[in-house]
Chains A and B, each alone.
Chain A
């Protein structure tokens, strides 16, 4: 049943122009930034050659592209996640899903995974962009892998949070602003955390992403992201169940 919901979410996403425009714009921005970094690398290449243990193309070009991607996706995921439940509620179509023989867990998982497949396409586009560098050089595949994993995990966190906020309201716009607000809040914590080395920096999503960005696959970061995702998915399920119970 999850597959039916995933199929429905993806077809709804791709019959609207939003998804296509977004994919095109994201790719344009990343490709532009990628070229700027490539240009900068070519300029300093001769100086880098003189330094022992100098950073390679992966560190100079790909890591910054992924760092930018994390921030761009932080801004864009709320726009994609806002419709998931809020629009269904506003158009009264949630009734259809709930009166069908589909469990609420399946509905929530299907919606989450549907969005994740779309975002995985975005991540894969960036990976393809990076792999194109192999034409002229050698890539640090380990660093690329850790970046890909990190970006995938943080976007999954963004989606899970966005899905939960979307379950709270019947207005997609409010859902978008709400989840953007919370995600920006989590980013600001990151800025605070970089100054004071306290416990608070464990909460920030982008702080954890930075480890992946540097090539460090930390179990703590993976555990944090997984916990974050599971927590918000469970909260969404509880919220939808509560609606049935409390009206």
Chain B
């Protein structure tokens, strides 16, 4: 596993989370390098969202540790979260705000420099295709545009680690292509974790695949290895998660 392509930006050790006596996630070890896009697959209820909520600091793990850019998320949450961008399943949008107001609020929350704020805002709107929606109320936008605002919110401060929980839900085929292109672009300078149900998305976008089942990782391989073995991701998924 010695790969000199980039430094480790996110790592977890034996991550576990119980709800009551029920272990939802156990023994999850992740390692993500700069410039890597990791696809997290799994059937409903496999623990993907719980894992992502833990990585973003919204849920404390029962045991195990999380490090973001070498900073322990549990010991120094504020420093660690500064390197993080998170898009939850339901985008956290204030419907009464305009797109500009909202994105500026997010930038301020992430302590973006005042001088850099306007250029960053312009840049992120252009990347997410929101150029013409600046003055629109978020509540009045269509689902697809709201999802784009959600993604813009996660990347406005140029974080090192970007966590996207089902980013292409509710988008039309053209938008899906645009977002995939955006994710590939983001994966050059940062690391991206993306959870999805759409297998072709993983094949197109990701450098590495992990499949979660019943709270733990049952499959972990890079796309290059997968292509060399000439195996079909769909077959592997069905095999591993139907038992």
Q: Which residues of A are in contact with B by a Cβ distance under 8 Å? A: 1, 4, 7-8, 11-12, 15-16, 91-103, 244-245, 247
Contacts and interface: CB of A to CB of B under 8 A. Distances in A.
A247 B19 contact: yes
Interface residues of B, number: 31
Contacts of A16: 96
Contacts, number: 69
B146 to A, nearest CB: 12
Interface string B112-144: 000000000000000000000000000000000
A180 to B, nearest CB: 24
Given A4-B105, A95-B86, A244-B60, 13 more contacts: A1-B109, A4-B108, A11-B97, A15-B97, A91-B92, A92-B88, A92-B90, A99-B56, A99-B84, A101-B79, A101-B81, A244-B59, A247-B17
B110 interface: yes
Nearest to B154: A99
Contacts of B105: 4, 8
8 contacts: A8-B105, A96-B92, A99-B58, A100-B106, A102-B109, A244-B57, A245-B60, A247-B59
Nearest to B86: A99
Nearest to A97: B109
Contacts of B59: 244, 247
Contacts of A12: 94, 96-97
Contacts of B93: 91, 93
B181 interface: no
B36 to A, nearest CB: 21
Contacts of B58: 95, 98-99, 244
B178 interface: no
A7 B84 CA distance: 23
Contacts of B101: 11
A209 to B, nearest CB: 34
Given A11-B101, A102-B78, A96 B106 contact: yes
Contacts of A101: 77-79, 81-82, 109-111
A232 B79 CA distance: 28
Contacts of B91: 92
B88 A95 contact: yes
Contacts of A102: 78, 109
Contacts of A7: 108
A103 B95 CA distance: 24
B195 interface: no
B153 interface: yes
B234 to A, nearest CB: 31
A9 to B, nearest CB: 11
Contacts of B94: 12, 91, 93
Given A8-B105, A244-B59, A100 B97 contact: no
Contact of B92 (A8, A95, A245): A95
Contacts of A8: 105
Interface string B51-84: 0000011111000000000000000011101101
Given A101-B79, A244-B58, A96 B153 contact: yes
Contacts of A15: 96-97
B57 A98 contact: yes
Most buried by A among B78, B92, B110: B92
Interface string B156-184: 00000000000000000000000000000
Nearest to B20: A247
